[in-house]
Amino acid sequence: MAENTTEFELVSPERLLMQRPVEMVVVPGTEGNFAAMPGHAPMISTLRPGVIDVYDKRPDIADRIFVAGGFVEVTAERCTVLAEEAVALDDLDRAEVDQAISDLMEDVADSTGKGDRTAAEAALAVARAKQTALRG
């Protein structure tokens, strides 16, 4: 691995989605976005639904990946994201996301139990984050 890169790994519950050296990764932490670069101080954070920007060579973004949440561990040599759900931003369909939001709003309104309502609200928050990501 080159001195000016860090190893980036993106893992979903199903499989390893990406593993390669990168110059920088911008991650949606629960307390705000942060950049993981070579030599970064060690840290662990939870993720909020949002977009990971992967830079092979700045200032150009090589990949944009939507994550629905999870965890990230950063060291001086590596950034590992354990995502609950991950999908390339280009693979999201605006019409499908809009329909999901409409359906989930109905689910929230129709929910009778606290658990059902909480699950529907969480899914709605992820769908709205996808919609925001698609807007740019």
Enumerate the domain spans of the chain: 6-89, 93-135
Q: Does residue 38 have a cis bond before it (omega within 30 degrees)?
A: no
Cβ 26 vs Cβ 33: under 8 Å: yes
**Cα 16 from Cα 38, distance rounded (Å):** 21
Residue 1 has pLDDT above 60, yes or no: no
**Model's pTM, two decimal places?**
0.89
**Cα 68 from Cα 49, distance rounded (Å):** 4
User: At residue 128, what is the residue type?
Assistant: R
What pLDDT band is residue 41 in, cutting at 50, 70 and 90? very high
Residue 39 has pLDDT above 70, yes or no: yes
Cβ 67 vs Cβ 85: under 8 Å: yes
Nearest residue to 10 via CA among 62, 98, 78? 78
More confident residue, 115 or 130: 130
Instruction: Specify the CATH architecture of the domain 6-89.
Output: Sandwich (2.60)
Question: Across residues 30-54, what is the average pLDDT?
Answer: 96
Residue 115 has pLDDT above 90, yes or no: no
